[in-house]
Amino acid sequence: ASPRVVVIGGGYAGATAAKYLRMWSAGRIEVVVIEPKPSFISCPLSNLVLGGSKTLADLTFGYDGLQQHGIQLVQDTVTAIDPLARKLQLTRGELPYDKLVIAPGVDFIYDSLPVLDNAEAQQQVPHAWKAGPQTVLLQQQLAAMPDGGVFVMSVPKAPYRCPPGPYERVCQVASYFSQHKPKAKIIVLDANPEITSKKALFAKVWAELYAGMIDYRPNSQLTEVDVAAREVKTEFETVSADVLNIIPPQRAGKVAQLVGAANVDKRWCEVDFLSYASKVVPDTYIIGDSVSAALPKSAHMATSQARVCASAILATLAGQEPDPQPVFANTCYSFVNARMAMHVAHVYRYDLDKKIMLPAEGGGVSVQPSEQEGQYAYAWAQNIWSDVLT
């Protein structure tokens, strides 16, 4: 019988790995993807839903392209893994595998803010950090906010999914306010000591495009939240909001925690960067946002890792060694309004001594945002969707 690879999660990482496993094995490997959601919703570009230039429907895609590769899609959730018996528990039964790929994205940590750890609180105070109904909810709250109201966003300590994402969100909300609620204000409570990505560029955009609207407060870790009053406390102050968006701290998706794969600070998964094999769980590979903090957590990175992993699994199944020196790239665009974007890009190479992927010297960052880069950013999105899903 052909070997069976089961992929947990049909997001950026999992869908890409599944596609390349089927394509590069010319259909000789059985590939099963377990994903609870009926369709793929892109986090990249989801901040533009808040800005008003995209709808969630623009970012939602079917999985039929993957099925055309002969991938079996099972709409279910993995609830337990038995790595020694090589068997998964789904809500609807068991599934055996030869190799397992875990790609569940991130899980939120509510240890320090337990009041937010329920669906009702998240209706009042959305995170909108997994694109879907939460994105629409935040957009509706912004639309219902009075002109002159205050939008407060809290950024967790790094590492978290999409380093520039919170700051892109600030730009998008500011773009929406400038058009519809010019007296509104934005307060950014950042748990980090400074903007964690494209710092100079974001600071310049906020000062020039959105002068006087954005109040950025570093070292502002939340200590308390009053959900009903939409009020938060930090070590230094109490801040009230009309719309409150708390992006919680993050760790590897829950299923990685269940099987003990998240061995770094009980948060992230340590892998061999030549194959993405877990350092602790046999026959198991981990890709995407769940991988240790050594690599930035982006969709582009997730797909790059997925290809290296797929190639390594096929080599291993054929009794060969994986590519000893993988190279890949990562580009992250941020839209500053509906049309203009800016980027940061790096090539990553495997470092033989340190045994990790390191950014090569000379990575690029935009001089300033532009409409041309906005067009590149839309093309980037079209390309990655086509790569992942067709």
Three-state secondary structure readout of the chain: CCCEEEEECCCHHHHHHHHHHHHHCCCCCEEEEECCCCCEECCCCCHHHHHCCCCHHHHEECCHHHHHCCCEEECCCEEEEECCCCEEEECCEEEECCEEEECCCEEECCCCCHHHCCHHHHHHCCCCCCCCHHHHHHHHHHHHCCCCCEEEEEECCCCCCCCCHHHHHHHHHHHHHHHHCCCCEEEEEECCCCCCCCHHHHHHHHHHCCCCCEEEECCCCEEEEECCCCEEEECCCEEECCEEEECCCEEECHHHHHCCCCCECCCEECEECCCCEECCCCCEEECHHHECCCCCCCHHHHHHHHHHHHHHHHHHHCCCCCCCCCEEEEEEEEECCCCCEEEEEEEEEEECCCCEEEECCCCEECCCCEHHHHHHHHHHHHHHHHHHHC
Q: How far is the CB of 42 from ligand FAD (least distance, A)?
A: 7
- Residue number of the CB closest to ligand FAD reads 11
Is 78 among the residues that bind ligand FAD (CB under 6 A)? yes
Q: Which is nearer to ligand FAD, 240 or 372 (CB)?
A: 372
Report the nearest approach of ligand FAD to the CB of residue 11 (Å). 2
Residue 163 found at the interface with ligand FAD (CB under 6 A): no
Q: Which of 159, 249, 253, 322 binds ligand FAD (CB under 6 A)?
A: 253
| Residues 81, 71 contacting (CB under 8 angstroms) | no
Site for ligand FAD in 6-65 (CB under 6 A): 8-14, 34-37, 43-44, 46-47
Nearer of residues 231 and 370 to ligand FAD, judged by Cβ: 370
Q: How far is the CB of 74 from ligand FAD (least distance, A)?
A: 9
Of the pair 8, 239, the CB lying nearest ligand FAD is at 8
* Closest CB 12 distance from ligand FAD, rounded Å: 4
Among residues 19, 99, 161, 198, the one that binds ligand FAD under rule CB under 6 A: 161
Residues 354-383 that bind ligand FAD (CB under 6 A): none
Q: How far is the CB of 61 from ligand FAD (least distance, A)?
A: 12
**Should residue 205 be labelled a site residue for ligand FAD when binding is judged by CB under 6 A?**
no
Contact positions with ligand FAD (CB under 6 A) in 87-146: 103-105, 129
Q: How far is the CB of 216 from ligand FAD (least distance, A)?
A: 18
Choose one: 138-146, 236-244, 267-275, 295-303; the region binding ligand FAD (CB under 6 A).
295-303
Dig out the tokens for 253 from the structure. Answer: 């998706």
Task: Kindly write out the interface string for residues 301-340 of this chain, putting x where it contacts ligand FAD by CB under 6 A and - elsewhere.
Answer: -x-----------------------------xx-------
| Strands 30-34 and 4-8, bridge-based pairing | parallel
The answer to whether residue 249 forms part of the interface with ligand FAD (CB under 6 A) is no
Whether residue 159 is preceded by a cis peptide bond, meaning omega within 30 degrees of 0, is: yes
Total of residues contacting ligand FAD (CB under 6 A): 35
Biggest distance spanned by C-alpha atoms of the chain: 66
77 touches ligand FAD by CB under 6 A: yes
Give the whole-angstrom CA distance, residue 287 versus residue 302: 6
What minimum distance in Å lies between the beta carbon of 159 and ligand FAD? 11
Q: Which is nearer to ligand FAD, 159 or 322 (CB)?
A: 159
Q: Which of 108, 185, 191, 289 binds ligand FAD (CB under 6 A)?
A: 289
Which residue ranges make up the site for ligand FAD (CB under 6 A)? 8-14, 34-37, 43-44, 46-47, 77-78, 103-105, 129, 161-162, 165, 253, 255, 288-289, 297-300, 302, 332-333
